[in-house]
Chains A and B, each alone.
Chain A
């Protein structure tokens, strides 16, 4: 019973924090739309997209999904497995480079 009581104290937060995060998400979404609006290209475009994306994702997870207030036992169980995704991205990026190399070689140069 004690645990439930504590939990409720832990998850009821002032309305202000939610409205702030909500507002920030709107602003960040607006900014990421502006990236396309102003047609930024290349490295600048990708950096801006990633920055706004991670900021939005972080805000949603930390405050809307309450991870900021959860104990580390849960937070770490959830976040560490995601490093495997990063590893997968690196592997597949290398694979894609190889595929496009072989395609260029055989389609256009003819091996």
Chain B
């Protein structure tokens, strides 16, 4: 590939037709694991889209008033109900963790082991905080009588969409947190500097794994952007 290094290839759409028609690797300069993660995220996009579209269909076709999310998800500070307070805090926590993850990827590629490890740990703790607040939100709503088949606020479909969508997203966050802790340990141990071979694979560890983990984490944040907009704000 020496005379074919990325900088010498055409860019833009010309580059795309060149890459696709090169009878070689189509995704040049992209490690295969990263392509696989992207394809997985694309399929996950479709799953979340199906949830949100069915929510749209359910909400648009009910003849009963939809619960006012602004009130349902309000928290009392003292005696004053603040609309959507918990959800706003959750959003900021998740964005914060997305930022620390982006920096972890950067420091990983710079082979700055300590910074990378601490930032991944910070990301994991952010994710854990998010899941904790979600547990609080779920138990609060369950206490108030929200069930998948009924709720005291309005249209019955509200509960099933709420538990399904936020539950599926929360599962993604939880899985991400587990992987973040595993990778924080691997980074601190120096696996990615020494090229230690992994538990499930004979291939050498590389900091590109941190970017792949980052892709997953940013995707979780990305999904939350849509859930926040459509489910909580709309």
Interface residues of chain A: helix, strand, loop or mixed (majority)? helix
Contact in complex: B60, A93 (CB < 8 Å)? yes
Count chain A residues whose beta carbon lies closer than 8 angstroms to a beta carbon of B.
63
**Contacts of A103 on B, CB cut-off 8 Å?**
61-63
CB distance from B207 to the nearest CB of A (A): 9
Q: Is B209 an interface residue (CB 8 A)?
A: no
The docked-state distance in angstroms from the alpha carbon of A19 to that of B121 is 19
A44 within 8 A of B: no
**Do B60 and A25 touch across chains, with their CB atoms under 8 A apart?**
no
Residues of A within 8 A of B45 (CB): 82, 85
Instruction: Using A50-B229, A71-B15, A95-B57 as known contacts, say yes or no to A22 and B95 having CB atoms under 8 A apart.
Output: yes
Known contacts A21-B99, A32-B233, A103-B63; can you find 17 more A-B pairs with CB under 8 A?
A: A3-B1, A6-B29, A11-B211, A22-B95, A29-B88, A52-B229, A60-B98, A71-B6, A72-B19, A73-B20, A74-B27, A74-B38, A99-B57, A100-B62, A100-B63, A104-B63, A108-B63
Q: Which residues of B contact A (CB under 8 A)?
A: 1-2, 4-7, 9, 11-13, 15-16, 19-20, 26-31, 35, 38, 42, 45-46, 49-50, 53-54, 56-57, 60-63, 70, 83-84, 88, 91-92, 95, 98-99, 101-103, 105-106, 109-110, 208, 211, 214-215, 218-219, 221-222, 225-226, 228-229, 232-234
